[in-house]
Amino acid sequence: GDSVTQMEGPVTLSEEAFLTINCTYTATGYPSLFWYVQYPGEGLQLLLKATKADDKGSNKGFEATYRKETTSFHLEKGSVQVSDSAVYFCALSDRGGSYIPTFGRGTSLIVHP
């Protein structure tokens, strides 16, 4: 079946540091890939997405590239801010498989001033 594996957190960084959160996946069909962000006390919000191999999703300074050869969708940001502190979820929806979204377990990011 489909699965998503994220690096465990928490990830702790100083403001303006470079961020990478690793995400790898397994899927039987043709997955769309997503990153969601969850701020304290809120629901998940879509951060970015990519629907086919080599697509790059980007939003609010965050980027992720759909790498079919390595089955990865790593999230990156060049300079994090305190306001980026949140939990980040990698997810997929497999158009050739079950179609039901599959989420990773989430990675907590803490950014210190």
Partner 1 sequence: NAGVTQTPKFQVLKTGQSMTLQCAQDMNHEYMSWYRQDPGMGLRLIHYSVGAGITDQGEVPNGYNVSRSTTEDFPLRLLSAAPSQTSVYFCASSQLSDQPQHFGDGTRLSIL
- Using the contact rule CB under 8 A, the part of the chain among 11-19, 59-67, 68-76, 89-97 near partner 1 is 89-97
Q: Which CB, 18 or 39, lies closer to partner 1? A: 39
To the nearest 10°, the Cα dihedral for 28, 2, 91, 113?
-120
- Identify residues 10-69 at the interface with partner 1 (CB under 8 A): 32, 34, 36, 41-46, 49
Q: Which CB, 12 or 45, lies closer to partner 1? A: 45
Does the footprint of partner 1 cover residue 112 (CB under 8 A)?
no
Please tell me the distance from the alpha carbon of residue 97 to that of residue 30, in angstroms, as a whole number. Answer: 8
Rounded to 5 degrees, φ, ψ at 60 are 55, 30
Please tell me the distance from the alpha carbon of residue 31 to that of residue 50, in angstroms, as a whole number. Answer: 9
- Which of 52, 56, 105, 112 touches partner 1 (CB under 8 A)? 105
- State how far the alpha carbon of 2 is from the alpha carbons of 64, 83, 85, 112, in Å: 20, 32, 28, 35
Does the footprint of partner 1 cover residue 70 (CB under 8 A)?
no
Question: Which residues in this chain contact partner 1 in the complex, by CB under 8 A?
Answer: 32, 34, 36, 41-46, 49, 89, 91, 93-95, 99-101, 103-106
